[in-house]
Structure 1
Amino acid sequence: MTIAEFWPLCLQHLKQQLSTQQYSMWIAPLTVGEENGQWLVYTPNNFLFGHVKKQFWPHIQAAKAELAPADAPDLALKIGQGLRLEAAGNAAPAAVNTTAKQAPSAEQIIGKHLQAQSSSATPATPAPTAIPAPNAAVPDDNTTPAKRDAQRLSPEFTFDTLVVGKGNEVAVAVARSISENPGGHYNPFFLYSSPGLGKTHLVQAIGHTLLQLQPKAKVAYIHGQDYLRSVMNAARNNTFDALKQKYKQYDLLILDDVQFIADKTRTMEEFFYLFNHFYNERKQIILTSDELPENIDGMDVRLKTRFSQGLTMRLEPPEFEMRVAILQKKAQLAGVKLEEDAAFFIAKHIQGSVRYLEGAFKRVEASSRFTGKPINIDLATHALKDLVASAYKVITTEMIMEAVAGYYKIGIGDLTGKKRTRNIARPRQMAMMLTKELTSLSLPAIGSSFGGRDHTTVMHAVKTIADLRKESPDTERDYQKLLILIKN
């Protein structure tokens, strides 16, 4: 067996073991080759090398043990470029789990999630099993309020613009199922998470899809504060009957940030009756909050129990791969090019909230537009320096060059120039080593910063300094002193 025969089988095996996002981001860019009787897997840059080595190399080695003959050559991971191959087709060997060839459906994802929780879950009140279509026979003169509330859906918040990852995969599958069959098994649907993780995007995507599938459906998207305000207006004008009739006409009711009606006795009472109407008529109710229903302070106990009787799900913060994918999606929608290293830098240092991540991208994009510079790691570092400063001191190539040049009493131009004398070459190698250790730059990017040098020159510099640190106390002392100077 050759590496060209093994690798497509390995890719197919990895596709079944990893999420689609993990595979496309970390495995698909890998290439292969063969040299001196050894099989080689290449990563295009140093960042991918480190992540693949740490997170996915055991998967690759396990695949080799399962799919390749016992006498197959050793497998090594290197930085470079080799032959790009595609995953094998459906004719995978028996050793590969062929049952996982197709991505699971929404119902399979949901079923697996619910089955995993069934042993500890408290039986809930059964949701209606009938799934009626929305009322299509509505006079035209009654559609204006419904259309007006449907127009509150942001045109950007659709499933097409939503990035799916581990933190929201099941919730997205549920949402898609609801948009196709409103008022069914997942009614009410209660979605909660910390602020800024995409609750509003996901629930509005349900409304958009339902309107696409059933154009005559009536969809209401209302924020908790707006519903509170409408009840207050009804109390002031004594128009509760009109308020009830307004909301009863809808087929899908989305109440975002339901916690805002807590402690408001009359508002909670009105919503209690509205909720019962929707549930009894088998119309879909979708609610969002920052907390579980039982943890919402001041919420009527009757509402808490009703909120919990359908399906309650939590959105988790996006993992690193998902944050990178979100940034790439934002760049695609904005029509700008986001360099890989810049996406990695932003995703690494802006964590937790999708809202913060989007804000960081907008700042970087604006900086690029106003300066006319590409969105690379240098621009991202400069644009976001105040955002990440509290948790991380932004270290740039320029900072490292200044520290190294000052320490060795040479000019910064010497580090990027052509001179190869020992008193210049060794500081240059030290600066390259420190840049590799203290920044997210790839080896080619580091080489480019140091006068357009090749990535192999950077690799040689890193190895040289690493060896000298072991052999020479003076080199190790210089390295540690420079670390302190740069970081402080």
Structure 2
Amino acid sequence: MSRTAESVWNNCLAFIEDNITSQAFKTWFEPIKAVKLTDNALSIQVPSKFFYEWLEEHYVKILKVALTKELGATAKLVYIIRMENTYGNKQPFTEKIPSANRSNLTSQEVDVPLKNKSPELKNPFVIPGIRNVKIESQLNPNYNFESFLEGESNRLARSAGLAVANKPGGTSFNPLLIFGGVGLGKTHLGHAIGVDIKDKYPEKTVLYISAEKFTQQYIESVKKNNRNDFIHFYQIIDVLIVDDIQLLSGKAGTQDVFFHIFNHLHQNGKQVILTSDKAPVDMIDIEQRLLSRFKWGLSAELNHPDYDTRVAIIKNKLYRDGVEMPDDIIEFLANNIKTNIRELEGAIISLIAHSSFNKKEITIELARKIVDNYVKHTKREVSIDYIQKVVSDYFQMDVDTLQSKTRKRHIVQARQLAMFFAKKFTKASLASIGSQIGQRDHATVLHACKTVDNLSSTDKQFRKYVEDLSKKLTL
């Protein structure tokens, strides 16, 4: 009975599947195709050169055993690498490479000239370095759960992060999307989850990357005709943390490649963690198929820290820096810097620095001077509460009236303006804006913003309202 390449390879696969994890088998052996069997030489096709290198680095022994069982001691193995050409519709090319000599499989040299330069990009973080597949996590160990203090504003996100860190890929929080305004701790929490996973599961491959860096790597892979290698690199990650995912907006090619990577990771039980400055419902120019996947897991919002949390953050920062500060000054800082944690910590650093350099005691007067100066030169995030107060004062009504259910035209317009400016000047989600301005839903906020845009272009008086309020809110 004549043996075919498929039958030999299927027997090899059956043996390999019994001896490695199901996940490894799916990732590294299912994509392989048997091409031909010539004498005792089996040719197999793999998706990329990176794929071939990984097999040779990690599975050469089991390949040798499996093939020797099927074809005897003189077995030969030849890899055929099939790389798609990402430029236009040119024909793909193949490159044949014998199995590495370090395995005791004898190899058959096949010299096939290439039409294109072979790919250089393997690990996007190690260029060049085809053999160097060690993946550094890119995590900052200083961003951990211990320094990410819990409060009402972040309890859901922090708890979900801990659950994911305890069981990456094994909770319903996959993906976990953390969203919120500037300086509220999204990046810190993303790193903290990764750091905790590395501590608990050192064998897992964890990678943190910004969406901007991911996009740069993708563009580079296309330029070098290495798109497949780029995809395969990211498909071997166990825990992928992508910061500022909203920056994929409008980048169709990057969204497409991320879609395929996301699908592979999710289907294979790998954990995906994303951060964004807005909720999925508010993301613009992101493909619907990606947005729907962002909603598969949990979207957890980080809000502005309340007073107690701000006090705890200040005390924790001082403790870590080994600095003592009177309680009245801590309370002063917590009362006067409310918008975000980054700004709060910056003011503390400035205060300590001024005190040290000028050899002055930290007093309320010094704190007031530093805070006034710091806030003056820092772009502040306007709060939704402040916007409601400014709009209510402008229309000579109280905030309760603004938030009421009444349909009186002037009140409805005031409410719509408050929603419009909340969307313009804050990073809050539409749902969050709606809930804070009279318990409305995100669709109401969206309608309000469109109404304000329309009236501004058709109604001269209404346009004046917008201009006046804009000035008041940006003073």
Query: What is the TM-score when the length of structure 2 is the normalising length?
Result: 0.51
Match of 2:232 in 1: 245
SS at match of 1:313: strand
State the partner residue of 1:159: 145
Match among 258, 261, 270 for residue 283 of structure 1: 270
Superposition pairs of residues 50-449 of structure 1, within 5 angstroms? 147-148=135-136, 150=137, 152-184=138-170, 185-388=172-375
Q: Does the 8 Å CA contact 1:337/1:375 hold for their aligned counterparts? A: no
Q: Separation in 2 of the partners of 1:257 and 1:296?
A: 11
| Alpha-carbon distance in 2 for matches of 1:206, 1:326 | 19
- Please report the TM-score for the alignment, with normalisation by the length of structure 1: 0.50
Query: How far apart are the structure 2 equivalents of 1:273 and 1:370?
Result: 54
The one-letter amino acid of 1:270's match is V
- 1:42-80, CA deviations, whole angstroms, 9 ceiling, x for partnerless residues? xxxxxxxxxxxxxxxxxxxxxxxxxxxxxxxxxxxxxxx
Whole-Å separation in 2 of the counterparts to 1:144 and 1:168? 39
Cα deviation for residue 390 of structure 1 reads 9.4
C-alpha change, 1:142 and 1:169, in structure 2 (3 Å) is farther
Structure 2 portions without partners, runs of 5+:
1-20, 29-53, 59-128, 379-475
TM-superposition CA deviations, 1:310-339 (whole Å, max 9, x none): 111111110011111111111111111122
CA distance in 1, matches of 2:289, 2:164: 24
Matched residue SS, 1:312: strand
| Partner AA of 2:144 in structure 1 | T
Query: Is the Cα contact below 8 Å between 2:23 and 2:268 reproduced in 1?
Result: no
**Kept in 1: contact 2:165–2:194 (CA 8 A):** yes
In the alignment of these two chains, the number of paired residues is 258
Q: 3-state DSSP class of the match of 1:285?
A: strand
Identity of aligned residues (%): 32
Unaligned ranges ≥5, structure 1: 1-131, 392-488
* 2:151 aligned counterpart, secondary structure: coil
Query: How far, CA to CA, are the matches of 1:371 and 1:147 in structure 2?
Result: 46
CA distance in structure 1 between the partners assigned to 2:203 and 2:277 by the alignment: 32
Query: What is the CA–CA distance in structure 2 between the aligned matches of 1:286 and 1:143, rounded to whole Å?
Result: 28
Cα gap change, 1:134 to 1:203, in 2 (>3 Å): farther
Q: Are residues 144 and 175 of structure 1, via their aligned partners in 2, closer, same or farther at CA, if it must alter by over 3 Å?
A: farther
> Cα offset for 1:341?
1.1
Kindly indicate which of the two structures has a greater share of residues assigned to helix.
Answer: 1
Give a deviation string over 1:453-486, Cα, whole Å, max 9, x none.
xxxxxxxxxxxxxxxxxxxxxxxxxxxxxxxxxx
Could you give the per-residue CA deviations for residues 277-304 of structure 1, whole angstroms, max 9, x where no partner exists? 0110010001111111121110011000
CA RMSD of aligned residues (A): 2.6
Q: 1:370 to 1:145 in 2, by over 3 A?
A: farther
Deviation at 1:365, TM superposition (A): 1.4
Instruction: Kindly state the Cα deviation for residue 385 of structure 1 after the two structures are TM-superposed.
Output: 2.3
Closer, same or farther: CA 296–142 of 1 in aligned 2, 3 Å = same
> For 1:287, what is the secondary structure of its paired residue?
strand
The one-letter code matched in structure 2 to 1:224 is A
